[in-house]
């Protein structure tokens, strides 16, 4: 394989390297970064609240067209993820999901986070999925704050999200 690389011309090598680097960047979510620029006028794409008022709770997604959508918590982000078209993102898929670890406030990949549900800690709009970077941190929080369960991203269902949103919709 390496010998073949050295036998191709310089232009083809450049194209091959660009393709290789592009593929690595797209395939590796660790190289992706959340948007750090959040305007004070930025509204939650689901409920319409001003997200900058709640910096500890802000979450975000990057769509397939590169657009970044912000939310005032994981609950609204999840509502969006189940039906982007109903929130003005027809034909778009979610490429990146970013949430903040509850204790450290560090951004983390929302698909790899651990979430506590049913705790006595509320977000800007009531009941919330509380994100953590590790199972141990989530379990400690669950015990300390009377949480009912720790779940992974792929265990969160639309009916669970809707049950947590019940009676708290702004739009």
What's the pTM?
0.78
Angle formed at CA 36 by CA 45 and CA 83, multiple of 5 degrees: 25
Least confident of 22-26, 48-52, 117-121, 124-128: 22-26
Work out the average pLDDT over 25-45: 73
In Å, how far are 56, 76, 147, 161 from 51, measured between CA atoms?
A: 10, 11, 25, 19
pLDDT (tens digit per residue) in 125-135: 999 999 999 99
Structure tokens at 8: 């191709």
pLDDT score, position 118? 95
Compute the distance between CA of residue 154 and CA of residue 78 in angstroms, rounded to an integer: 11
Check whether 167 has a pLDDT greater than 80. Answer: no
pLDDT (tens digit per residue) in 58-109: 999 999 999 999 999 999 999 999 999 999 888 999 999 999 999 999 999 9
Q: Give the number of other Cβ atoms within 10 Å of residue 98's Cβ.
A: 25
pLDDT score, position 116? 98
pLDDT score, position 12? 56
Element (H, E) at 151: strand 149-152
Under 8 Å between Cβ of 42 and 51: yes
Work out the average pLDDT over 29-57: 86
pLDDT score, position 18? 40
pLDDT score, position 88? 87
Structure tokens at 30: 């660790």
pLDDT score, position 33? 83
Instruction: Check residue 13 and report its DSSP letter.
Output: H
Q: From 50, 51, 36, select the one nearest 107 (Cα to Cα).
A: 36
Confidence of residue 36 (pLDDT cuts 50, 70, 90): confident
Higher pLDDT, 157 or 9: 157
Element (H, E) at 97: strand 94-100
3-state SS, residue 34:
coil
pLDDT (tens digit per residue) in 136-162: 999 999 999 999 999 999 999 999 999
């Amino acid at each position: 394989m390496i010998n073949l690389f050295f036998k191709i011309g310089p232009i083809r090598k450049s194209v091959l390297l660009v393709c290789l680097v592009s593929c690595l960047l797209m395939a590796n979510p660790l190289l992706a970064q959340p948007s750090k620029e959040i305007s004070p006028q930025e509204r939650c794409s689901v409920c319409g609240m001003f997200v900058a008022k709640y910096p500890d709770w802000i979450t975000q997604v990057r769509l397939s067209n590169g657009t970044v959508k912000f939310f005032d918590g994981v609950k609204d982000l999840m509502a969006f993820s189940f039906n982007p078209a109903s929130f003005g993102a027809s034909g778009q898929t979610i490429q990146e999901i970013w949430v903040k670890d509850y204790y450290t406030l560090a951004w983390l990949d929302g698909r790899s986070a651990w979430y506590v549900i049913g705790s006595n800690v509320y977000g800007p709009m009531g009941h919330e999925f509380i994100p953590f970077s590790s199972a141990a941190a989530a379990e400690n929080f669950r015990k300390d704050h009377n949480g009912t369960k720790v779940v992974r991203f792929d265990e969160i269902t639309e009916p669970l999200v809707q049950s947590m949103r019940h009676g708290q919709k702004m739009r």
